[in-house]
Amino acid sequence: MNRTQATAALVATTLGVMALFGLAACPGSPSTTLYTPITGLVINSDSLLSGIGCGTGTGQVYKYAAVVTLAGDASEAGLPVSGVFDCFTNAQFANLATPDGNLTSYNIAIYAFNEASFPAAELGGCDNLAADAACQGENPATVLKYAPMANWTTTCTATQVPGVSEVAVCNSLAPVGDASVGPDVGADTSAPEDGAAEAGDAGSASDSGDAGGDGGAPEGAAPGEGGLSEAGDAGSEPG
pLDDT tens for residues 50-59? 999 999 999 9
pLDDT tens for residues 76-128? 888 999 999 999 999 999 999 888 777 899 999 999 999 999 999 888 876 55
- Please state the domain count of the chain: 1
Within-domain flag for 62 = yes
pTM here is 0.59
Round the average pLDDT of the chain to a whole number and report it. 72
Alpha-carbon distance 138 to 82, whole Å?
A: 5
Quote the domain boundaries for residue 140.
Answer: 40-181
